[in-house]
């Protein structure tokens, strides 16, 4: 069994993020970037499958982005992936998930050995759209199960049973391989890569592909368009009501009716 894990580099959710004045995107100057937490669930799942089974031949980690995105790839390699694939080209629009899925699908099809299981997060915390995983499965013409919270792969490695949360219940899906799964929080707890493993990751092979090897589908450039990003609207000033309880109640009702207009 060969497993492909996909990891995207995103802004650290614990960092202070500033929006550009023209609302064209996030100001990346001095911004700390990290592997997407949901993608790390996929990497950890792949490594745990290899530790539990004897038929996982190779784990490949793939990322799309500029030179700096290699940092996220090295974390995946330090966590246990065997080799990396970096789609590195400034022509790749990282805000268009349908376009990215098309490009990644081309890179995957170039791998003659093929992959039995593809893993990524249910969505990335930068765009929050969740379109990438399902779109990639469509381009590869393989089944897709989203937001997986439990997974049991058959002994022969040809099928699996996945569990996912739905409203008021848990859904169980049986499916054959190859397939793509997007992973939900709680399925696994990602390990922290040790310093020795981070050093070893620098020696693991990484294949780099550019737009010279991967064609961009121009029709997808207009399929989804990034419009703008803006900070949350400032909260209005809090108004305090003072006085005796009866007077406070009357004033509150008046404010709700006349100013807030919710009564």
Q: Please report, for the domain that includes residue 28, its CATH number.
A: 3.40.50.620
228 falls within a domain: no
Q: Tens digit of pLDDT for each residue in 39-57?
A: 999 999 999 999 999 899 9
List phi, psi (to 5°) of 119: -130, 135
227 falls within a domain: no
Residue 181 exposed, middle or buried by CB count within 10 Å (0-12, 13-18, 19+): buried
> What is the rounded distance in angstroms from the CA atom of residue 143 to the CA atom of residue 136?
10
84 falls within a domain: yes
Which domain range does residue 118 map to? 2-221
Q: Do 160 and 247 belong to one domain?
A: no
* Residue 61 pLDDT > 90: yes
Whether omega before 137 lies within 30 degrees of 0, making that bond cis, reads no
* Residue 156 pLDDT > 90: yes
Q: Do 174 and 258 belong to one domain?
A: no
Cβ contacts of 256 within 8 Å, gap of 6 or more: 262, 263
Q: How far is CA 177 from CA 1, 3, 33, in A?
A: 10, 11, 33
Q: Do 147 and 106 belong to one domain?
A: yes
Q: Do 190 and 76 belong to one domain?
A: yes
- How many separate domains does the chain show? 2
Q: Do 72 and 192 belong to one domain?
A: yes
109 falls within a domain: yes
The pTM of this model reads 0.82
Find the range with the poorest average confidence among 2-11, 21-30, 72-81: 21-30
Q: Do 185 and 247 belong to one domain?
A: no
Q: Tens digit of pLDDT for each residue in 177-218?
A: 999 999 999 899 999 999 999 999 999 999 999 888 887 766
Whether the CA torsion 183, 185, 186, 192 is positive or negative: it is positive
């Amino acid at each position: 069994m060969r497993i492909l894990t996909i990891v995207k580099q995103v802004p650290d959710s614990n960092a202070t993020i500033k929006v550009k004045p023209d609302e064209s995107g996030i100001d990346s100057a001095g911004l700390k970037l990290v592997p997407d937490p949901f993608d790390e669930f996929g990497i950890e799942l792949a490594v745990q499958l290899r530790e539990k089974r004897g038929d996982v031949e190779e784990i490949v980690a793939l990322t799309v982005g500029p030179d700096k995105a290699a940092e996220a790839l090295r974390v995946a390699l330090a966590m246990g992936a065997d080799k990396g694939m970096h789609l590195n080209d400034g022509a790749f629009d990282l805000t268009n998930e349908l376009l990215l899925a098309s490009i990644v699908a081309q890179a995957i099809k170039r791998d003659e050995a093929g992959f039995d299981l593809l893993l990524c997060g249910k969505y990335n915390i930068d765009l929050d759209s969740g379109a990438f995983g399902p779109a990639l499965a469509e381009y590869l013409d393989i089944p897709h199960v989203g937001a997986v919270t439990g997974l049991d792969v058959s002994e022969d490695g040809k099928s699996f049973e996945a569990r996912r949360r739905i409203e008021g219940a848990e859904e169980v899906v049986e499916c054959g391989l190859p397939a793509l799964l997007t992973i939900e929080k709680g399925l696994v707890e990602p390990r922290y890569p040790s310093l020795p493993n981070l050093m070893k990751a620098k020696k693991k092979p990484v294949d780099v592909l550019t737009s010279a090897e991967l064609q961009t589908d121009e029709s997808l450039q207009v399929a989804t368009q990034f419009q703008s990003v803006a900070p949350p609207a400032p909260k209005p000033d809090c108004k305090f009501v003072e006085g005796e309880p009866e007077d406070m109640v009357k004033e509150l009702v008046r404010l709700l009716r006349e100013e807030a207009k919710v009564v």
